[in-house]
Structure 1
Amino acid sequence: MESTVTTTEPAQTSKTSSRPGYGQLLRTRGAWTFLLPGFAARQPFAMLTLSIVLLVQHTTGSYGAAGATAAVTGVSMALFAPYSGRLADRYGQRAVLIPGVLVHALAGLALTVLALAHAPLWALFAAAVPTGASVPQIGPMVRARWAVTLKDSPLMTTAAAFESVTDELTFVLGPLLATALCTSVDPAAGLVAEAALTLVGGLLFAAQKRTQPPVTAGTRARVKHDSALRVPGVRVLIVAFLGIGCVFGGMQVSLAAFTESIGRPGLNGVLYGTFAAGNMLSGVVCGAIAWKAAPHRRLVLGYTALALAASTLWTTQSVVLLTALGLLVGMCIAPALVTGYTLVESLVPADTRTEAFTWLTGAVALGQASAATVAGQLEDRLWNGAGFLVPMTGTVLALVTLVALRSRLAPRPDGPGSSRGVGHRPPVSVD
Structure 2
Amino acid sequence: MPDTSMTLPAPVLALSGDVLVAAPPTARPRSRSRSRPPSWSRSRSRPPSWSRSRPPGPDRRPAGRYRRLFAPPGARAFTAGALLARLPMGMFSVSAIIMIAGAYGSYALAGAVTATGLAATALVAPFTARLVDRYGQARVAVPATVIAALGSLALLLCVRHHAPAWTLFAAYAATATTPNTGGMSRARWAHLHRGDPAAVHTANAFEQAADELCFMLGPVLAALLCAALFPEAGTLTGAVLMLAGVLVFAAQRATEPPVSPRPPGGARTPLRTPGMPALLLVFLATGAVFGSMEVVTLAFVDGPAAGAVLGLQAAGSCVAGLVYGSVRPAPHAGRRLLGCLAAMTALMSLPLLAAAGTGSLPALAAALLPAGMATAPALVTGMTLIQRLTPEGRLNEGMTLAVTALLGGIAAGSATGGWTVEHAGATAGYAVPVAAAALALLLCLAGPGTGPGTTKARLS
Q: TM-score, normalised by structure 2?
A: 0.77
Structure 2 counterpart of 1:427? none
Structure 2 counterpart of 1:226? 268
Q: Distance in 2 between matches of 1:322 and 1:308?
A: 16
Q: Distance in 1 between matches of 2:257 and 2:449?
A: 31
CA contact (8 A) 1:296 1:343 kept: yes
Q: Deviations over 1:102-153 (max 9, x none)?
A: 111121233344456666665443333222x222211110111111111212
CA contact (8 A) 1:238 1:359 kept: yes
Q: 1:91 and 1:310, CA in 2 relative to 1: closer, same or farther beyond 3 A?
A: same
Name the aligned partner's letter for residue 183 of structure 2.
P
Shifted more, 76-85 versus 280-289: the winner is 76-85
Structure 1 counterpart of 2:58? 18
CA contact (8 A) 2:81 2:245 kept: yes
* 1:244 and 2:286 correspond: yes
Q: Distance in 1 between matches of 2:392 and 2:118?
A: 27
CA contact (8 A) 1:101 1:134 kept: yes
Q: Deviations over 1:253-306 (max 9, x none)?
A: 4445555x33x2xx3432232211111110011112223352111212211222
Q: Distance in 1 between matches of 2:334 and 2:92?
A: 31
Q: Distance in 2 between matches of 1:55 and 1:379?
A: 26
Question: Helix, strand or coil: the match of 1:232?
Answer: coil
Q: Distance in 1 between matches of 2:146 and 2:265?
A: 26
**201, 222, 241: which one pairs with 1:197?**
241
Name the aligned partner's letter for residue 147 of structure 1.
A
Q: 1:33 and 1:406, CA in 2 relative to 1: closer, same or farther beyond 3 A?
A: same
Structure 1 counterpart of 2:402? 360
Name the aligned partner's letter for residue 136 of structure 1.
P
Q: How is 1:320-331 mapped onto 2 (pairs within 5 angstroms)?
A: 320-331=362-373
Tell me the CA shift for residue 397 of structure 1.
Answer: 2.8
Q: How is 1:19-34 mapped onto 2 (pairs within 5 angstroms)?
A: 19=59, 21-34=65-78
**230, 250, 270: which one pairs with 2:308?**
270
Name the aligned partner's letter for residue 212 of structure 2.
E
Structure 2 counterpart of 1:3? none
* 1:141 and 2:179 correspond: no
CA contact (8 A) 2:387 2:398 kept: no
Tell me the CA shift for residue 90 of structure 1.
Answer: 0.3
Name the aligned partner's letter for residue 274 of structure 1.
L
Q: Distance in 1 between matches of 2:418 and 2:161?
A: 22
Tell me the CA shift for residue 39 of structure 1.
Answer: 1.1
Q: Deviations over 1:296-318 (max 9, x none)?
A: 11212211222343345466353
Structure 2 counterpart of 1:305? 343
Structure 2 counterpart of 1:286? 324
Q: How is 1:249-260 mapped onto 2 (pairs within 5 angstroms)?
A: 249-257=291-299
Q: 1:243 and 1:162, CA in 2 relative to 1: closer, same or farther beyond 3 A?
A: same
Aligned residues: 406
Q: Relative contact order (C-alpha < 8 Å, sep 6+): which is higher?
A: 1
RMSD: 3.2
* 1:110 and 2:154 correspond: yes
* 1:95 and 2:135 correspond: no
Question: Helix, strand or coil: the match of 2:366?
Answer: helix
Tell me the CA shift for residue 80 of structure 1.
Answer: 1.7
Q: 1:381 and 1:224, CA in 2 relative to 1: closer, same or farther beyond 3 A?
A: farther
Q: Distance in 2 between matches of 1:279 and 1:94?
A: 31
Q: Percent identity, please.
A: 36
Tell me the CA shift for residue 395 of structure 1.
Answer: 2.8
Q: Deviations over 1:60-108 (max 9, x none)?
A: 6665554443322222222222211111110001121111111111212
Q: Deviations over 1:130-189 (max 9, x none)?
A: 22x222211110111111111212422211212212222212222221232244444433
Q: Deviations over 1:311-343 (max 9, x none)?
A: 454663533233223222210110111101111
CA contact (8 A) 1:242 1:394 kept: no
Tell me the CA shift for residue 239 of structure 1.
Answer: 1.6
CA contact (8 A) 2:445 2:452 kept: no
* 1:8 and 2:8 correspond: no
Q: Distance in 1 between matches of 2:456 and 2:329?
A: 23
CA contact (8 A) 2:81 2:249 kept: yes
Larger Rg: 2
Q: Distance in 2 between matches of 1:117 and 1:257?
A: 33
Tell me the CA shift for residue 28 of structure 1.
Answer: 2.4
Q: TM-score, normalised by structure 1?
A: 0.82
Q: 1:237 and 1:382, CA in 2 relative to 1: closer, same or farther beyond 3 A?
A: same
Structure 1 counterpart of 2:174? 130
Q: How is 1:405-416 mapped onto 2 (pairs within 5 angstroms)?
A: 405=447, 407-408=449-450
Name the aligned partner's letter for residue 17 of structure 1.
G
* 1:84 and 2:128 correspond: yes
CA contact (8 A) 1:41 1:200 kept: yes
Q: 1:385 and 1:188, CA in 2 relative to 1: closer, same or farther beyond 3 A?
A: farther
Tell me the CA shift for residue 208 of structure 1.
Answer: 2.0
Q: Deviations over 1:355-414 (max 9, x none)?
A: 111111121222223334454566677745776555344333333222211544679777
CA contact (8 A) 2:263 2:394 kept: no
Q: 1:414 and 1:242, CA in 2 relative to 1: closer, same or farther beyond 3 A?
A: closer
Name the aligned partner's letter for residue 242 of structure 1.
L
CA contact (8 A) 2:74 2:252 kept: no
Question: Helix, strand or coil: the match of 2:309?
Answer: helix
Q: Distance in 1 between matches of 2:108 and 2:149?
A: 25
CA contact (8 A) 1:176 1:270 kept: no
Structure 2 counterpart of 1:429? none
Q: Which runs of 5+ in 2 are unaligned?
A: 1-45
Q: 1:56 and 1:336, CA in 2 relative to 1: closer, same or farther beyond 3 A?
A: farther
Q: Distance in 2 between matches of 1:252 and 1:52?
A: 18
Structure 2 counterpart of 1:72? 116
Q: Which runs of 5+ in 1 are unaligned?
A: 1-5, 425-431
Q: 1:258 and 1:95, CA in 2 relative to 1: closer, same or farther beyond 3 A?
A: farther
